[in-house]
Structure formats: C-alpha cells, structure tokens
Amino acid sequence: MPSADHELGPQNLGSPSATVRREPSDRSPEHAEPSRFVPHVQGLRAIAVLLVVLYHFWPGRLSGGYVGVDVFFVISGYLITGHLMRELTATGSVRLAQFWARRARRLLPASLLVLMFCAIVAGSAYLMPTSALPNEVREIIASTFYVENWYLAFNSADYLNHAGNPTTVQHYWSLSLEEQFYVLWPLIMLLAAWVAVKWFKGRRRTAVIVGLGAVSVASFIFCVAFTITNPAPAYFVTFGRMWEFGIGAMIALVPALRVRNPVASFVLGWAGIVALLYTAFTFDAQTPFPGYAAALPALGAAAVIAASNTERWWYPTRILSIRPAQFTGNISYSLYLWHWPLIIIAPSVPFWGLTIYHRVALLAICFILAWLTKRFVEDPARSWKVLTSRRARVTLWSSLAAMVLVAGTAGAAWAINAPAYREGVQAIEQLRADPPACFGGAVVLDPSCAGTDFGTTVLPAPGFAGADRPTDEQCFVQLNDSRPVSCEFGSSDPNAPRIALVGDSHAYQLLSTFQRMADANGWHLTTYFKGACPWNTTPLSTAGAFGDACTDWRNGVTAAMKDAPLDAVFTAAISSTPYSSAGYDSSHAAAVAGYRDAWNEVLDRGIPVITVVDNPAWETDPNKCLRTRDAADCTGARTDLLTEDDPLRDAATGVDGVTLLDFTDVFCDDTTCFPVVGGANLYRDQDHLTVSFVDTLAPQYTAAIKAALAAQKP
C-alpha cells in the first residue's frame, strides 16, 4: 500500500558494544549496554521511510516505494541480531524479559498513541464513515495486539492494489510482523546457543550463524513458493519475511561481510542505493511480491549496511550521515506511524482535498507530528524511571494494560456508534424497497423526470454508502480461487428464460438489481463472478498464481456455460484491467479480441450477449468529499475518471448479437462526472456503484434483456 505502509519500529539505532555490564536480574534498565551509533544505517532508515511515505502520497510517481519495508526488515535483522549476539557472547544467555521490556518501552508509547488517535477518530461520525466502523475497530484491535499482518493475511487483503477502502491502521501489519520477529529471533538464537553448548563445544556464534542461516534459507524458499501460489496473503505472512531479517543478521554476525576496503565499499554502497532506487521506480502493483523480487531491495539495503568505509565525503556512508538524513532517520518510526492515518482521514476534513498543495502541506504536518512524538513521547518513554528502575515484568504488565485500554477505546467507539450503524442498514433497506420518484438515473433516462430537482439530497448518506453493496458474497470468488462458482436466483420454472450474469466485481455490483429483475420478470438467473477477472480469453498481464487462477476460472465458466441452456448472457467489467498484449500490437487490441473470442462461445449457439460500458473510476472514494462538502464541490473531470478506450465498448461495437448499453451520460456531462445524480449517491467506494443507484438503471437493463430474448424468437 500496500500500502502498505510499512515501517518497523525504530530499533536500537546504536549497536551495544561487546562489553556488557551485568545488571541485577530483577531490573530492566534502559541502558543495560552502551551503544555504538551507526550513522549511515540511520541514513538508510531515512531512505526507507521516505520511499514508503512518498509511495503512499504519490503512488503513481513512486510505484515501487513499498520496498521501503524490506529495507527496514534488513536493518532490524542487522541491529537486533548484533545486540543479542553481544549479550549472548558476554553472558552466555539473553535476558528475554529485559530485552522485551526495552522493546516495549521503545515502540509501544508512540504506537499506542497513534492507535488511540485512530480509535477516537473511528468513533467520530464526522471523520469516519459509519459503514467503515466495524472493520476499523477490528483492525485497531488487531494492530494493538500486533497481529494485524495475520488479520490481513486471513482476510486475503490485496495491499498493493488497495482493494476496498483501507483502514487507518492497515500499515501496522509491518509493525506486527516486526514485533513477532522480536519474540521469535532471540528464542531461535538461544536454541542455537544451547545446541552449541551441548554438542558443538560451545561454539555459539557458529551455531547461531548456521541456525539463522537455515531459517533464512527456508523462509526464502517458502516466500518464493507462497508468493507464486498465494500472493495476497504472502505479503503479510511472518515466515515469508524472516529471510530479510536473516540477511541483516548475517552482516552483523560475519565480520567478513562488512567491507572496509575504500574502493569496494564505495562501489558496494552506491550499488545498493541504485538497487533501491531502481526497485522504487520500476516495481509496481503487478510485480510478484515479495517472492524472489524482494531479494533486490533486501540485498540493496544489505549492501549499503555492509559498505563500512567512511574516509571520503562522497562515499555513501558519509552522504547518508548528513544532518537531513539523520533527522529523518531519527523520526522515521513516528513518521511512519502518523503518515498513513492522516492520508486516510484528510479527504474527510472540511476544506481539505488531495491537490498537490494539500498533499505537500499534509506531508509537512506528518513531519511535524513525527518530530513532536519523537521529542515528547518516544525519547522520554525510553528512560522513564518508574519503569526502568523496576523489574522487567512491570514494563510488560504496564504495556499490556495500555494495550487493553486502547482496544477498549476502539470497542467503545463501536458501542457508541452501533445504533447509528443499525439505523443506516435499515435506511438502505428502506431506500431499496421504496425509492423516491425520478430517483437516480431516472432523472436522465426517463423523459417524464426531466427537470426534477432533488436539491441537496444524497441517498444513501455518504457516511453509509459503503454498506450499500450486494450481500451474496458466496457467489464471488477472489484472488487465487479458480472454482467456477455459480449461484442460482429467480424462477425455478424449467421454462423460464435463463439469463447468465458473468464478470468481475463490476458485474458483481449488479447482482442485487438483477436478482430483483429476475424475480419481477420470471427469469432464472445464473451468476459467475471472480474479482479482477473479466470474461475474456486474453491472459492478464499479472504474473503468477493470480493470472493463472483467472485463466482457469474463465475456462471453467466457459465449460459450465457450454452445457447450460441459456437464453441470454449479460457481462460487465472494469475498463482498467491489465491485459497481456498476447501477440497483438497493444494490450487494448488483445483485450478487444479476447472479449469477442469469449462471447463467440455463446454467440455461435445463437445466445445473445448484453454488455455495458464501464462506469467512471475515482482516485479516492467520493464519499470522503461528500461527507464534508456539497455535491457540486465533489465533481471530477471526465477525462480523468473515464477510460479513454474501454476495450469492452470497442469489442461490442458492430458485432451481431451483442447489445451495448452506455450510461456515460448518466454519470457525466461533456466535461464533468458527478458523484450524485438525481439524489442518488452513485458510489460505495472509488469505483463500485451503490445498489440503490444500480436499481435506478433496472428499466434499461430489463429492456435490453427483453429485446435480446425477443430477437431469438422465430
């Protein structure tokens, strides 16, 4: 995000020296070991956080900025492994409770502060749409207890494509993964040390290197394989990322990997920076990630760390040590924490927007908040004597209490707003059952409604439009699921006209309306839906398992429809689907040919096809604007929101047996597209329509299907 966003906690920026001062076993002092500050690693941290932040502010300009998180993982592995190894070498063990207590004091105060802020925002109907509240609360709680990465993995969130509306805390997935690293890594090292003492003559360092190396190799193999088979959850799964920590760990554990030779250090350091910039500007949402592709930014970060010579000012180690880089590295943790919630919330703030000026101002605000948090929260908490002068368990129990408080605040936000949520659901049900006269598309499409003025009416309310969606989610397959799942609705009469509705999420958004049409007209409706996979024979440009699953799903649907007694097929698709050029002059030409090939499977049997030009797609959910501004202030330029060459329109034009519906004039005039038409709130997110609005197009859908059915009769 993807986003995304991604940083990890500000690990111990210094590296404790090999001389370890023993502390009483019942104390957990903050500075149990002196530290060695590594300036160029701090500068590398600045690069990493800027990649992530700029990617989230301007994803189109820095399409691969998400690799910043991989840089942070490598830095974490380097710093924390060195810290643990020095303690293990000096004392023969690692005081786990004290280690975890120090991590808690370093990371939790700022983290929980931002989570508390997000919980309070979630409870405010003014800043957060009520329809988003349930998922917001769930993710705040998951983030509070550092399992957000697993929550997203189990829910198959597509971070890089920003599927749906991300929450204010989605970026906590990486912090969750790092906290899990803090738990697992010292345990692995202690196990390796125990094995060394028992069987390998006490050679702890060798055993740790072998142990962590084995874990890292296994993790990389798992990462590559899992990215191929399950790319969406692979982005978040802990074991698929451990190898990146392992790369940093090897630099800390193997002195030979730290390059002091001036020429080699110069070349290695700049090569690492070039690798990071290359991935930031060339990787994008279509790059299979993490997988083997993540090796390039991870190794680039490792190269910068390993380049240790600082003799000349033009060496990367010196460039990364300049004051601006050090300042940004110092505030990187808080900057990462704050930037994403502010990006999500900003469009809902009155008199704010997403112009270049607003974005630059918001970026400056993020830096200011990050500095304030570093100065007044992070730094004081690290040396708070009420905790550092007591046993480690005092810090740990206090941390748990603070986490419970944040989670409780999120729960209270839900409790306060639950009645409004239920009222919103009921209002949508009432609107669908009894819409106003001349509502929505009827204002444009029904001549008798011309001139009807709904004033400032917006239904459903902008704060609840996100809930106005089809409910039969079992009919919609996603990600790597290639099963041609079908659902049956409408008449059970064997003589009823049989209609198929096929396509991606832009076909699925029509489902509730088509169910009502089938019931009203005595049709039998069969559906086939797969996310981001239109009914087309041209392969997607998306590599790996997702593209393969789409191809398999299409083949399964074609086979299922070949044996089905259909009378008409309706299909819809998002216009921006990334297609392979597949031997054609362009991906557009290949997509047009692919639609026609797919349709010919039924056209050759005399079954008509009805399709529709895609609706406009917005940069961000227009409801964020509608909640604080008049609809007239939330419009968008037609040239920005409509795909210039919709391949589905071009495929349907001039083909016998294919009916093309085009509602562009409902959404837009000659220059401008609208989020509200005839009092109807058109969108539930940035590109999917509300069911309430789609219902207002039912007369046109019905007429087109009836005409196609009538044309079949002798």
Mean predicted lDDT score pLDDT of the chain: 90
Sort residue 461 into left (φ over 0), alpha (ψ -120 to 50) or beta.
beta
Which is more confidently placed, 310 or 9? 310
pLDDT at res. 8: 34
- How much is the average pLDDT of 539-544? 83
The first and second tokens of residue 697, run together, are 């197009």
C-alpha Rg value of the chain to the nearest Å: 28
pLDDT at res. 110: 97
Domain coordinates of the chain in residue numbers? 41-415, 435-712
What percent of the chain is modeled with pLDDT above 70? Answer: 93
- How much is the average pLDDT of 75-97? 93
Q: Is 683 helix (H, G, I), strand (E, B) or coil?
A: strand
CA dist., res. 295 & res. 244, Å (int): 8
Q: What's the gap between Cα 68 and its chain centre?
A: 15
The first and second tokens of residue 459, run together, are 């239904």
Q: pLDDT, tens digit, for every residue of 607-627?
A: 999 999 999 999 889 998 898
Burial group, residue 43, by CB count within 10 angstroms (0-12, 13-18, 19+): buried
pLDDT at res. 713: 64
Q: How far is CA 164 from CA 128, 226, 445, in A?
A: 15, 23, 30
Contact 611, 661 (CB under 8 A): yes
Confidence class of residue 374 from pLDDT cuts 50, 70 and 90?
Answer: very high
Q: What are phi and psi of 578, to 5 degrees?
A: -80, 105
pLDDT at res. 37: 65
Q: What are phi and psi of 50, to 5 degrees?
A: -65, -35
Q: Is 443 helix (H, G, I), strand (E, B) or coil?
A: helix
Sort residue 484 into left (φ over 0), alpha (ψ -120 to 50) or beta.
beta
- Tokens 């370890």 correspond to 20
Residue of 562, 598, 561, 560 whose CA lies nearest to 579: 598
CA dist., res. 333 & res. 12, Å (int): 12
CA dist., res. 251 & res. 302, Å (int): 7
- Tokens 């808080």 correspond to 334
Helices 332-345 and 39-57 cross at an angle (nearest 10°) of 10
Residue of 578, 667, 671 whose CA lies nearest to 615: 667
pLDDT at res. 70: 97
Contact 466, 509 (CB under 8 A): no
pLDDT at res. 162: 40
Sign of CA dihedral 411, 417, 423, 428: negative
pLDDT at res. 291: 93
- How much is the average pLDDT of 699-714? 90
Sign of CA dihedral 380, 383, 386, 387: positive
CA dist., res. 111 & res. 116, Å (int): 9
pLDDT value at 477 more than 60: yes
pLDDT value at 16 more than 70: no
Q: pLDDT, tens digit, for every residue of 646-664?
A: 999 999 999 999 999 999 9
pLDDT at res. 529: 96
Q: What's the gap between Cα 702 and its chain centre?
A: 37
- How much is the average pLDDT of 290-297? 96
Contact 692, 682 (CB under 8 A): no
Q: pLDDT, tens digit, for every residue of 412-424?
A: 999 999 999 899 9
Contact 479, 546 (CB under 8 A): yes
SS3 string, 452-494, reads CCCCCCCECCCCCHHHCCCCCHHHEECCCCCCCCEEEEECCCC
Q: Which residues, 6 or more positions from 68, have their beta carbon under 8 angstroms from its beta carbon? A: 6, 7, 47, 48, 49, 50, 51, 52, 55, 280
Of 67-71, 269-273, 339-343, 540-544, the least confident: 540-544
What percent of the chain is modeled with pLDDT above 90? Answer: 75
Overall pTM surpassing 0.75 (yes/no): yes
pLDDT at res. 628: 84
pLDDT at res. 3: 34
Q: Would strands 35-37 and 14-16 be described as parallel, antiparallel, or unpaired?
A: antiparallel
pLDDT at res. 156: 65
pLDDT value at 23 more than 50: no
pLDDT value at 326 more than 90: yes
What torsion, rounded to 10 degrees, do the Cα atoms 184, 185, 186, 188 define? Answer: 80
pLDDT at res. 159: 38
Contact 502, 485 (CB under 8 A): no
CA dist., res. 140 & res. 403, Å (int): 11
CA dist., res. 351 & res. 627, Å (int): 11
CA dist., res. 186 & res. 94, Å (int): 7
CA dist., res. 277 & res. 268, Å (int): 14
DSSP conformation class of 615:
P
Residue of 82, 75, 25, 23 whose CA lies nearest to 46: 75
Q: pLDDT, tens digit, for every residue of 166-218?
A: 899 999 999 999 999 999 999 999 999 999 888 877 788 999 999 999 999 99
pLDDT value at 524 more than 50: yes
CA dist., res. 573 & res. 181, Å (int): 41
Q: Is 123 helix (H, G, I), strand (E, B) or coil?
A: coil
Q: pLDDT, tens digit, for every residue of 312-324?
A: 888 889 999 999 9
- Tokens 């509602």 correspond to 663
pLDDT value at 15 more than 60: no
First to last CA, the chain: 55
Q: Which CATH number fits domain 435-712: 3.40.50.1110, 1.10.287.1040, 3.40.190.10, 1.20.120.1200?
A: 3.40.50.1110
- How much is the average pLDDT of 640-645? 91
Q: Is 665 helix (H, G, I), strand (E, B) or coil?
A: helix
CA dist., res. 394 & res. 315, Å (int): 45
- Tokens 């948090």 correspond to 373
The first and second tokens of residue 491, run together, are 């008449």
DSSP conformation class of 614:
P
